[in-house]
Amino acid sequence: MTDSNNWTLLPFLRDSAGVDTMVTACGIRLDISRQRLTGEDLKRLVDHCRTRGVEEAHRRMMAGEIVNPSEGRAALHTSLRSFSAGAPKFAEVDRERRRMLDFARQVREGIRLGCRGDRITDVINVGIGGSDMGPHAVYHALRPSNPKIRVHFLSTVDGVLLERILDVCNPLTTLVVVSSKSFGTRETLVNAAAVDQWLLNHGIVGTDRAHHMVVVSANPDAAAQMCLPEENFFRMWDWVGGRFSVWGAVGLPLALSLGPEVFLEFLQGAAEMDRHSLTAPLEKNLPATLAMIAFWNANRLEISTHCVLPYDERLRVIVPWLQQLEMESLGKNHTPDGRRIPGRTGQAVWGANGNEAQHSFYQWLREGTGRASIDLLWSEMPGHRYAEHYRVLLANARAQAEALIMRDPDNPCFNAVSAIVMDAVTPRRLGALMAMYEHKTTMLGTLFGINPFDQPGVELGKRLSKRAERGEDPMTAVAEEVRF
């Protein structure tokens, strides 16, 4: 670890006179006053962003240029939530979005029914990774206490989860959404086959199956693979990565459960953040500021871990969603042309519900022998009617923002804290928050010099798992697959 004498003089940004430590947009306020840098450091970071071409790379991405060189693809997740006819791929995105939302309306209004004439009361989302984490995070944040249609997320191939979901669902009132970009993900196909067998066991066979199962995929053969009609197929595109895909047909379970109007509000909030990210100067740009701070913390301060602490139950599942988004995107050590990158790239993202975590791992954050960058998240409006609960929760959040940065100044172990405050956890604000973190991640890809849109390590794991299923020795398989 770096000599502690190098760290005793690091001030907080709030110690620099005349520096604005607040950035606000789309109902979200970012406070970086507790970050460990000076006003001059921040100016140099802005200059470095311009030198690295962060703004231009961001514009190129949203314009539909090839920004995923290893796969030769664009990365147009922003088009999935655009309402502008000038957005790339708008016509096909709009057509599929209207079709998806119309399907959701028909299910919710009882026009589309189960094969015996029953209304749909439950949706099983069969998918893993990006086909699970985004919808799961949004559903947890926005679901009412007693939703009209409940969503169950079947992700892991562990049969325990399968049993627990099937045991509480009635097949005659259940719609299954099988979601996989490639429609080759082994876990998803095994789970889909098991749920299909469950339908079969309850007499749902032949054309009746079409009342109870749809597929979401970029694979045009997905419906045929599941013996379903083409009208039960909802399209993804290869120019949207799985971890960026909640804005399209992967979000079908959200439109079914929360309603098309809520889903559209969610998209509109993200589109507002997209406009902000394109038009705001770097000094006042929310995702760019987050990216600059993360770059500084990883490289200058050698902080390898980023802890996300939402003080709002509705944002609990944002933590694993963000973990996948950042770590799958930024967990790389080579440039797209194969050169090894000096220094650090993405941080390890972890965290938990902030109030619970105070009684779990805050002792490590406060006095352990490590460094952490921290995002504290809370809302200015509670999601419930219990005033005393909200008062106590908010007092804890504000107190911990200070407690977590107070360390022995002679100790090389310290924390750097940002506070992210939403004016309310609404569909629109949630969309803006998630889009903000997406743009932070892709901008960091530019700063680090890596491709944030591929995942070669994930693909390697899939290939090795298939070989292990065939009985091959994993050690031999690794030696054949990996070349340094």
**Among all residues, which ones are annotated catalytic?**
328, 359, 462
Cβ-based neighbours of 52, under 8 Å, separated by 6 or more: 446, 447, 449
Which residue bears the tokens 């703004």?
55
Contact 251, 263 (CB under 8 A): yes
Contact 325, 318 (CB under 8 A): no
Dihedral sign, Cα of residue 14, residue 18, residue 19, residue 23: positive
Contact 48, 282 (CB under 8 A): no
The token duo for 361 is 């791992």
Contact 439, 273 (CB under 8 A): yes
Which residue bears the tokens 């066991």?
201
**DSSP string spanning 63-111?**
HT---BTTTTB---HHHHT---TTSTTHHHHHHHHHHHHHHHHHHHTTS
- For residue 305, the cross-strand partners are 348
Dihedral sign, Cα of residue 329, residue 330, residue 335, residue 339: negative
Contact 314, 140 (CB under 8 A): yes
Q: Which amino acid is at 181?
A: K
What are the Cα distances from residue 234, in Å, to 7, 98, 99, 178, 270?
54, 11, 8, 10, 22
What are the Cα distances from residue 470, in Å, to 181, 194, 206, 219, 380?
24, 20, 31, 24, 54
Residue 75 to residue 85: CA distance in whole angstroms: 18
Residue 351 to residue 390: CA distance in whole angstroms: 21
